[in-house]
Amino acid sequence: MRVATLITALCWPCLTLAAEPPTLTLLNWEAYLAPAVIEQWEAESGARLEQVYFDNDERRDQLLVDVARHRIDLVVVDEVASRLFGERGVLYAPAVEAAPNLRHIEPDLQAQCGEHSVPYMWGTLGIVYRTDRVAQPHSWADLMQPEPALYGHIGMMDDVTDMLAPALLMRGQSVNTADEEPLKVAFDDLRQQLPAVLTFEYAITYLQSAPRADDLYMAAAYSGDQAALNEIAGEARWDYVVPQEGTILWADCLAVVSGSPQAALAEAFIDFLNRPEVAALNAQDLRVASGNAAGNARLPAEMRKDPRIFPPAAVMARRQLYEPLSKENLLLRQRITHAIRKRHDAR
């Protein structure tokens, strides 16, 4: 204490200059915020933005269970997690008074995110594929029951919903089903698919870090992932398609962590992201539809007409939404996914 007092007396200007800028920590998917947006935010606010990455919903939820220890200020969550953690008091959405640009949010998407978060981006679940290695897939069966030439080249997701979704969609089932029979069939389909599966790691993460990254030809993915994959590859070799049997229409939402010491700064960041010009810049970089209607209206015509970004009516008619899973349903799905991963890892 005495030393601190002495230094302050002798060199207050030095301490002022050396003061660290405030830091805002965002829990986010990797490659899910445009670098230009981060740069503009830091220049305008004088605050640093740090990101903690997750590559599946279960890992994100594990971090949220003990969010204070990880010093996270705001988070990207799906609509189910928004409700779950919001009702527990872990997350909240800024009021329009604190973030006036929320007036530009799509009302239907706000309803999907619920009262504890605000829409960030939205899109579909589908298949990414290497255009230089495989023909365009048309069915979930192209991923679940691939031809022998694709054995060892398929990517799946390690998640209780999205690992099972391709198998359930392929057979016309609800992705949220709690019925044991379709889940047993899905387990059998996943088991038979195993010789074709290269990885259960999220495709973006796999391409960035795995020594066999060039062996990934096709994977379950979200709309917009092809843009990140092409950036990693350094060329436009990846494309994205929604299979004919249907898709999941997902909404990613932003929420502030309750009790965060940077809560006011987090609210200001959400307001910044919802400026129409910033929302458009972010969506254009990510090649994903924004939850901000005014931002989407500013996108180039080629993006607004791109069916991978804004699905046509025929795709929307076959969409499903994520729903909360009962404890029994969740436990059964965990047993299935853990068994599949164990069999894969033992190969």
Kindly list the distances between the CA atom of residue 159 and the CA atoms of 55, 60, 333, in Å, as whole numbers in the listed order.
10, 11, 9
- Whether residue 14 is predicted with pLDDT greater than 70 in this model: the reply is no
Least confident of 50-64, 245-259, 264-278, 282-296: 50-64
- CA gap 120, 118 in Å, rounded: 7
- Please give the average per-residue pLDDT across 24-47, as a whole number: 97
Residue 249 near residue 322, CB atoms below 8 Å: no
- Whether residue 215 is predicted with pLDDT greater than 60 in this model: the reply is yes
- Which CATH number fits the domain that encloses residue 81? 3.40.190.10
Q: Indicate the pLDDT class of residue 77, thresholds 50, 70 and 90.
A: very high
Containing structural domain, residue 71: 2-122+250-310
Beta strand pairing status for 154-155 and 197-199? parallel
- Please give the average per-residue pLDDT across 55-61, as a whole number: 91
- Whether residue 10 is predicted with pLDDT greater than 70 in this model: the reply is no
- CA gap 92, 329 in Å, rounded: 27
Residue 115 and residue 134 share a domain = no
pLDDT the model gives residue 187: 98
Residue 113 and residue 31 share a domain = yes
Strand partners, 51: 26
- Whether residue 6 is predicted with pLDDT greater than 70 in this model: the reply is no
- CA gap 101, 98 in Å, rounded: 9
Residue 322 and residue 288 share a domain = no
pLDDT the model gives residue 214: 97
Q: Indicate the pLDDT class of residue 9, thresholds 50, 70 and 90.
A: very low
- Whether residue 211 is predicted with pLDDT greater than 60 in this model: the reply is yes
Residue 93 and residue 39 share a domain = yes
Q: Indicate the pLDDT class of residue 17, thresholds 50, 70 and 90.
A: very low
- CA gap 5, 2 in Å, rounded: 5
pLDDT the model gives residue 15: 37
pLDDT the model gives residue 12: 36
Span 94-110, pLDDT tens digits = 999 999 999 999 999 99
Span 165-181, pLDDT tens digits = 999 999 999 999 999 99
- Whether residue 3 is predicted with pLDDT greater than 50 in this model: the reply is no
Residue 140 and residue 263 share a domain = no
DSSP codes joined into one string, 285-323: HHTSEESBHHHHHTS-HHHHT-TTTS--HHHHTTEE---
Alpha helices in the chain (DSSP H): 2-18, 35-45, 57-65, 79-87, 107-113, 141-144, 165-170, 180-193, 203-209, 225-233, 263-273, 276-286, 293-297, 301-304, 313-316, 327-345
Q: Which two tokens stand for residue 153?
A: 């080249």
Total domains in the chain come to: 2
- Whether residue 8 is predicted with pLDDT greater than 50 in this model: the reply is no
Residue 53 and residue 17 share a domain = yes
- Please give the average per-residue pLDDT across 202-217, as a whole number: 96
Residue 119 near residue 243, CB atoms below 8 Å: no
pLDDT the model gives residue 70: 86
Mean pLDDT of the chain: 93
Residue 33 and residue 48 share a domain = yes
- CA gap 178, 182 in Å, rounded: 9
Residue 237 and residue 255 share a domain = no
- Whether residue 4 is predicted with pLDDT greater than 50 in this model: the reply is no
Kindly list the distances between the CA atom of residue 55 and the CA atoms of 31, 47, 60, 224, in Å, as whole numbers in the listed order.
11, 26, 8, 15
Residue 295 and residue 175 share a domain = no
Span 301-345, pLDDT tens digits = 999 999 999 999 999 999 999 999 999 999 999 999 999 999 999
Span 232-279, pLDDT tens digits = 999 999 999 999 999 999 999 999 999 999 999 999 999 999 999 999
Residue 191 and residue 141 share a domain = yes
Residue 71 and residue 135 share a domain = no
Residue 288 and residue 192 share a domain = no
327: amino acid identity, one letter = K
Q: Indicate the pLDDT class of residue 19, thresholds 50, 70 and 90.
A: low
pLDDT the model gives residue 176: 98
